[in-house]
Structure 1
Amino acid sequence: MLEDWIRAPEGLPSGPGRWLARDDDHDGTGQYDAYEPGPPREGMGELTQIVVLRGRVIDVTYEAVSGSGYECAAMEMEHLHPSPAPRVERISVREPPHEAMVDWLGRVVGGEEALDTLDARPLPASSPVEASSLPDPERELVLAIDEQLARAAAGWLLADEMLSACRNLLAAAVDADMLRIWRDLEPEKIAAVVVHCIAKANALVGSGAPFTVAHWLRDLGTTSAPSSRSATLSKVIGGRQWSHGCAPSEVPDVYVLGDVRLLVSSFRRELLTYRALAGKVRDE
């Protein structure tokens, strides 16, 4: 007959274990004559026992608190003096310079394969954005935005390529269901968002850029940058720019759209230079 017990500490074994019935306990009276300790409970620490005889230490033993009879004291001490919270240290991981550059280039153009096949040929001439499959209100809005883009392009430098890039971005925005966000905006304001986003993605505005925002937006009835809306559009299309870390310090501050069809040839030529430099650093 077996029964599990945890005995009190007054002279009896303590901790998880069991008392074994005598072989002659046939009537089940519950008489026991042997104690078999069970496995100790984990995580309560270590107990040090010191034996002192006539002022001299004659023995020191170490055992687990679990099973020693001092579990309650250990739990009370833990309650009064809880273990300190673990200290978390953040470690900054820095990529090698050429890897950081290649990672940035891949994000800008849309992946490793797009980077390997990157060239500086001008974007092909574009046609109005295909909207025949859209519901009537959305189709009318897309056509009106496209018309504003084509009208504004007449005053641009890089007119054909910029118009192609803007139309490609507008098509991507339609696929991303951005018309729901833009439904209360006038077509020229939406066109301004698209143009500004493309100009930022190609380093055509901003510090050291060859043109001002006004050059690209003046024929759309505004000269102020729709920065908030264009930044939102860039994140919808390109996603978050970095899973960790920062862009390399050598590169321009541009929106990352992740699609080579949204990049004009002059900017792709710069990217080819960065790619060549990254390869040179890797080989050195």
Structure 2
Amino acid sequence: MNEHGTVGDAEIPAVGLGTMGLDTAEEARAVTTALEMGYRHVDTAQIYGNESVVGDAVAAADVPREEVFLATKVWADKLAHDDVLSSARESLDRLGAEYVDLLYVHRPIDAYDPETTLAAFDRLREEGLIRHVGVSNFTVEELAAARDHLDAPIAAHQTEFHPLFNRPELLEDAREHGEAVVAYSPMAGGLVSEVEEVVAVAEKHDTTPHAVSLAWAREKGCAVVPKASSESHLRANLAAATTLELDGADVARIDGVGRERELFPE
């Protein structure tokens, strides 16, 4: 499906575009640019409030819809069974899509109940409105409970993941179950430029800390969905995630970062 590789049993394109903050039609033109540049994975969410402009931008790209892996997420206040069903259909309407490739539980809080919430996700999949089920911001224990209640496999777990927030237990759990880990905020909102270990690896490869952070997440086996709005940043992120090769010493050095910073705690 994608020349840049895939992750997990569901073959999720390894490089995607995160769209949080692309709020206007003009800003969302980055989605069209990205797709025509070679991206094939677009990630949005109900809570972003931009599904309509993202959907329009996907439609505007000179790329067949079936080649685009489109993902969105159900927010916490819509996770009761019937609300999942109705809000997912509303998301499809806003996106101008007959289906999405991946629908996530955005966070397992508020109205989330594993039995009733996930039954609705299974129903949407059976009806062909979603191709795959995903979860986001789950713990290993919450992932295990979700598997117990889902008929569908979990295709992906989206989580904050960057050199300041490394989640080895989640990576191992995903490998055991054939699930993709999708890394959001893989450059830690720019904070990687202040991380000595990342800067050192960047200097070794004559590149930027941002590029190294993306390449490191890919080396760890994650798909990445960094946000970018300009064509130059889109190209730089794509190149970093697909062509920058780190060696074992580079990865180990970044793995050894001795401090933690979670940008999006519950």
Report the TM-score, using the length of structure 2 for normalisation.
0.22
Q: TM-score under structure 1 normalisation? A: 0.21
Rg bigger for which structure?
1
Query: Which one has a larger percent helix, Structure 1 or Structure 2?
Result: 2
